[in-house]
Structure 1
Amino acid sequence: MSENQKPAPTILLTGASGVVGQAVLARMTEHTVVCLTHNTPVPGHRTVRVRGDLTRPFFGLDRSSYQELADRIDVVVHCAAVTGFSIDAEQTHELNVRGTENVLAFARQAQAPLQHVSTAFVARRDLAVAGYGSARPEVYLDSKRVAEQAVLASGVPVNIVRPSVVIGNSVTGRISQFQGLHTIAGALLKNTLPMLPLEPASRIDFVPQDLVADVIAHLVRTGTTGGEYWVTGGRAAPTAGRIVELGLALGRSLGLSPDTPRFVSHDMVDRLIRPVFIDALPRAQRRRFDDMLAMTALFNAVEPFPSTYGHVPGVTPFSAQNLEDAFTASMRHYAQAKRLVRPSEVAA
C-alpha cells in the first residue's frame, strides 16, 4: 500500500448468514469484516466473528468489549432482519425495530456511517391485508417503516438501500436460502400451481443478490451518505404473465411437464376457492397457501417501484433481459437443489 493510499475500512456486518449478507461478504474481500451473529457466517477473507444479540443493549456484550468493538469499526452494514410473513409481531418488532435502534446506537458510538438495508415494499401502503391466515405481510412492512423512521431521525450518516425481492446470483442462481418467489416458481416447475392469484400484467419485481451487494459495496468504498437507493427492476421488471412463460419454457427444456396456471383474482380466492378447497387442507398446506397469497398481494400494484441504484458509481442497471436471465438462472439452481431433474439436464 502506498503512502497516500488509505487502508480499507473495517466493517461491522449484521445478517452475514442471510441472503444479502452473504453476498455483501463475498464483495468485501479487501476489507476486514466483523460479523455480528449468533450463527456461523459464510467464511470469507479477513472475516472475524463476534457473537452478539442485536436485540439487547450493547449487543449483549460487556461495556469494555462493546467499546473495543466500536473503536475498531469504520462502517456499519446492517442486513439483519426478520423477513418472514408468518413470524409473530413481537419477534418481528424485536429484530427489525429494536435491533435497528441498537445498531444506530453502535454506529453513533463508533462514529461510523451506516448502510441500512430496508425493502422496496415499504412503498406498498395500499396493501389489502384480509384473508392471509397466518401470513401477515403488513406486520413485516410496518416494522421496516418504523425502522426507517428511526434511521432517518438518528442523526447518524446513513444510506438506505431498498431492494425488492432478492433472488440468487445473477449467473449461477445460487442462494443461501430459497425465498417466497422461489417457492411460487418452484410450484410451477413441479406442476403444483393450478392457479396464480395475480393479474397477468402485474410486475414481479426482483433483483439478484449480487446486484444488491454491488450497490452496498460501492457505497462503502465511496464513503457517500445521505442517499436512498431503490434497488429494483422498476419498469424493467417482468410481468406475471412473462414469468409464467419463462417458468414453463425452462421446465419443458428440463424435461418436466408443467401446465399453464390460471390467473385468478384475490376476490375469487376469498369468495370461492378458500371456503371450498383451502380451509379443508392440513394446517401446513394452508400456511403455504397463505404465504403465497401474501406474496402475490405485494405484486398486485399498478405503478412500478422507483429504481435509482443506477446513480451509484460503478453499478450498471439491469435490463429487462438481464432480469429474465437472472430469474431463469435462479430457477435452474432451484430445480437442481430440489432434485427435480438430473444435474446433467440442469447444466444443459
Structure 2
Amino acid sequence: MTAPVRILVTGATGAVGGAVMRALEAAGHRPHGVSRRGPVGPRQHTWRAGRQEPPPALRRAWDVVVHCAADTRWNLPEEQAEQANVAPLRAALRLAEPRTHFIHLSSSYVTGLAGGIDSASPTAYRNSYEWSKAATERLVHAERDSADIVRFPVVMGARADGLLDRYSGFFWLPSSLCSGAVPAMVAEEKALLDIVSTDDVAAHVTRLVAGGPPTGRRLSILGRGDGAQPVTGVFETVRAALNSWRAEHGVPPLDRLPSMTPEQWNRFYLPFAEEHLDRAQLLRVTAFRAYQGYLSVTEPFDVTHRVPDTVQVLHRSIRRWAETHENLARRVPRAWR
C-alpha cells in the first residue's frame, strides 16, 4: 500500500490557499494548512511564519510544501514588505528537506519595470510588493536545487460561482465604482489586464503535486497571454456585473466613466483639478495613482499555461463580491465637483 503524500499548504485561509486546499482534498489528499489567522477546519494550524518558531505539529517530514502565503499590499515600506513576504518563505523553506517537492506561488508582475527578477533595487519595480516577490523568487533559486515556481496575474474567484475566501487587491475597483472614488477610467488605450481563476491556480498546483518534483527549478506562468481582456473591457464587465446586481436590489445603475490615458490625466486634468478637490477626494486620487501602472500594461505576458476565457469568471466574481459586501454594493456615487 502506498503511503499518503504529506502535504503542507501555507496561507491556507487566503483566496488562493483556500482553493488549493480544496483542490488537493478533492484529488484524495489530506493536506495540512497553516495560516496566521488560525484553524478553520481539521488539519489546520496557526503559525506566524517568519515571526515565530513553527509549532510542533509542523515539525515533521513533508513530501510537499505549497507556499501560498503572501501579503499583496502595494504600499508597505520595504522593511515591512520583506517581513511580510520574504521572511515567511525563508521559514517555510526550513520545513522542507532536500527531497521535498517545494512549490512557490509568485506573481506575473514580479518582473517589475525591468522585465526580470535579478535586480534587488526597489526602483526596478512598481512597488514594494513586486520588489519583495522578486526577492522571494531569488531566495528559492538560492536555497533549492529543485522547486516549482508558479506565477499568475490578477486572481478572481471560482469559475462556477465566483467564490473567493478573501477579497482584496483588485476589489478596490468595484468598491471605488460604487462609492464614486474613481472619477475616470485612466488607462492606456491598448492596455491588457490578465486574469485567472483560483480554480486555474489550484488545478495547476494539484497537477504539479501528482507529477512529482522537477529535476531542477521549473517556472510555470498561468494566464491568458495575448488573449487577456482589454482594460476597457474589464471596466465594462465590472460595471455590468454591478449593475445587474443593483437592478435586482432596486439600486440605480452606475454610469460609464469618462476614459483618458495616464498622460492626459496626470498632465492636464489632475493639475487643474487638484486645487478644487476636498481632502477626501485628494486621498482617493492619491490611492488611485498606485493602480495606474497596472492599467497601462500593453504587452501580454508570455504564459506557459494558457487558462480558459475569464470574462464570465470576472462577472461572477464581481457579483459574488456584491452579495458579500451588500452595503458597499448599494452605495450611490456622488458626482465629483
Q: Is the 8 A contact 2:191 2:230 kept in 1?
A: yes
Q: Is the 8 A contact 1:204 1:238 kept in 2?
A: yes
Task: Verify: 1:327 aligned to 2:314, yes or no.
Answer: yes
Paired position in structure 1 for 2:30: 32
Q: Is the 8 A contact 2:148 2:220 kept in 1?
A: yes
What SS does structure 1 have at the residue aligned with 2:33? Answer: strand
Paired position in structure 2 for 1:293: 289
What SS does structure 1 have at the residue aligned with 2:127? Answer: helix
Q: Is the 8 A contact 2:241 2:316 kept in 1?
A: no
Paired AA for residue 53 in structure 2:
G
RMSD: 2.6
Cα distance per residue 1:149-182 (max 9 Å; x no partner)? 1101223421001010111112211212223322
What SS does structure 1 have at the residue aligned with 2:60? Answer: helix
Shift of 1:252: 4.0
Paired position in structure 2 for 1:171: 160
Task: Verify: 1:282 aligned to 2:279, yes or no.
Answer: yes
Which stretch shifts more, 96-105 or 145-154? 96-105
Task: Verify: 1:240 aligned to 2:231, yes or no.
Answer: yes
C-alpha separation in 2, matches of 1:250 and 1:179: 18
Cα distance per residue 1:286-335 (max 9 Å; x no partner)? 5544443322312312210122125xxxxxx313xxx1010110111122
Which stretch shifts more, 10-19 or 118-127? 118-127
Q: Is the 8 A contact 1:107 1:156 kept in 2?
A: no
Superposition pairs of residues 7-18 of structure 1, within 5 angstroms? 7-18=3-14
TM-score by length of 2: 0.82
Question: For 2:308, which of 303, 318, 332 is the aligned residue?
Answer: 318
What SS does structure 1 have at the residue aligned with 2:193? Answer: coil
Paired position in structure 2 for 1:313: none
Paired position in structure 2 for 1:231: 222
What SS does structure 2 have at the residue aligned with 1:71? Answer: coil
What SS does structure 2 have at the residue aligned with 1:152? Answer: helix
Q: Is the 8 A contact 2:195 2:223 kept in 1?
A: yes
Paired AA for residue 267 in structure 2:
R
Q: Is the 8 A contact 1:174 1:330 kept in 2?
A: yes
Change in Cα spacing, 1:248 to 1:82, as seen in structure 2 (3 Å) is closer
Change in Cα spacing, 1:282 to 1:111, as seen in structure 2 (3 Å) is farther
C-alpha separation in 1, matches of 2:263 and 2:161: 38
Q: Is the 8 A contact 1:191 1:257 kept in 2?
A: no
Cα distance per residue 1:68-108 (max 9 Å; x no partner)? 73434211010111110122221210131122222222213
Shift of 1:198: 0.3
Superposition pairs of residues 1-348 of structure 1, within 5 angstroms? 3=1, 6-29=2-25, 30-43=28-41, 47-56=42-51, 59-61=52-54, 65=56, 69-108=58-97, 111-125=99-113, 137-188=126-177, 193-225=182-214, 226-254=217-245, 255=247, 256-277=252-273, 280-282=277-279, 286-310=282-306, 317-319=307-309, 323-339=310-326, 340=329
Which stretch shifts more, 25-34 or 13-22? 25-34
Paired AA for residue 128 in structure 2:
V
Shift of 1:243: 1.7
Change in Cα spacing, 1:38 to 1:214, as seen in structure 2 (3 Å) is same
Paired position in structure 2 for 1:130: none
Paired AA for residue 23 in structure 1:
A
Size of the aligned set, in residue pairs, is: 309
Change in Cα spacing, 1:250 to 1:158, as seen in structure 2 (3 Å) is same
Paired AA for residue 333 in structure 1:
R
C-alpha separation in 1, matches of 2:165 and 2:206: 19
TM-score by length of 1: 0.80
Paired AA for residue 282 in structure 1:
R
What SS does structure 2 have at the residue aligned with 1:36? Answer: strand
- Which consecutive unaligned segments of at least 5 residues does structure 1 have? 128-135, 311-316, 342-348
Q: Is the 8 A contact 2:158 2:197 kept in 1?
A: yes
Q: Is the 8 A contact 2:182 2:288 kept in 1?
A: no
